[in-house]
Amino acid sequence: MKNGSNAVVRSAKIINIISASLMAVAGVLLMTVDSMEEVLAQRILLGILFGLTGAARLFGFFSNDLYRLAFQYDFAFGILCELMTLLLVLAPEQNYGVMHMLLVMYALFDALLKVQMSMDARRFGMKCWGVILGTALAVGVAGAFAAAAIQTELIRGLVMVGFALCLSGVENCWITAYTVRIRAKKKNISERFGIEE
């Protein structure tokens, strides 16, 4: 039974790292590929991406990782991603700006959850809590700049939206890789998982 639980956590970890990596790649595409100006192409790409991300988050939530840090808010976040998938697929092309603001709200919401996660990591005594907080603040600042860019049009909003998504994807990738742990024997658990005595 324990081996089965470990296999689920391992699978959830791998799936979430892959989905976070795809989010980062999508952010790079939004920043660099001119054809991504096409609304339909964006809707298809992002709709598929958020559908996969939502499914990965929900799968992670129901796994049983050691700290329950990376996946603790993923039930609500997974549902949010699935709702965004519906909005991206069903939204008319006239709502082009609204679609970009949805992406910004995703990045900002994710950043806020990671700030809360950093506080939880600090209570656990994990050495990486400061890095989690720093990257969360960086994603939040990028999201805020993206929102400002969309409203003011001083710089191309899509570039900042893509940057915020890319940063969020990279952040989720390393946080999942670092904080999701499979249950192990209590012997040397502090040393193995970086918990301060």
Contact 80, 51 (CB under 8 A): no
Whether residue 73 has pLDDT greater than 60: yes
pTM for the model stands at: 0.77
pLDDT in the model for residue 153: 67
pLDDT of residue 141: 94
Residue-wise pLDDT for 127-140, tens only, equals 888 998 999 999 99
User: Taking 70 as the threshold, does the pLDDT of residue 18 lie above it?
Assistant: yes
Question: What is the residue extent of each domain of the chain?
Answer: 2-181
143: which 2 tokens? 């999201």
Contact 65, 71 (CB under 8 A): yes
CA distance 138 to 131: 10
Q: What is the pLDDT of residues 82-139, one digit of tens each?
A: 888 888 777 666 566 677 788 888 899 889 988 988 888 888 787 888 998 999 999 9
pLDDT at site 151 = 79
Band (pLDDT 50/70/90 cuts) for residue 65 is low
End-to-end CA distance of the chain: give it in Å, rounded: 30
- CA torsion sign for 182, 58, 171, 22 is positive
The angle subtended at Cα 58 by Cα 54 and Cα 64, nearest 5°, is: 150
pLDDT in tens, 130-181: 998 999 999 999 999 988 888 776 666 678 888 999 999 999 888 888 777 6
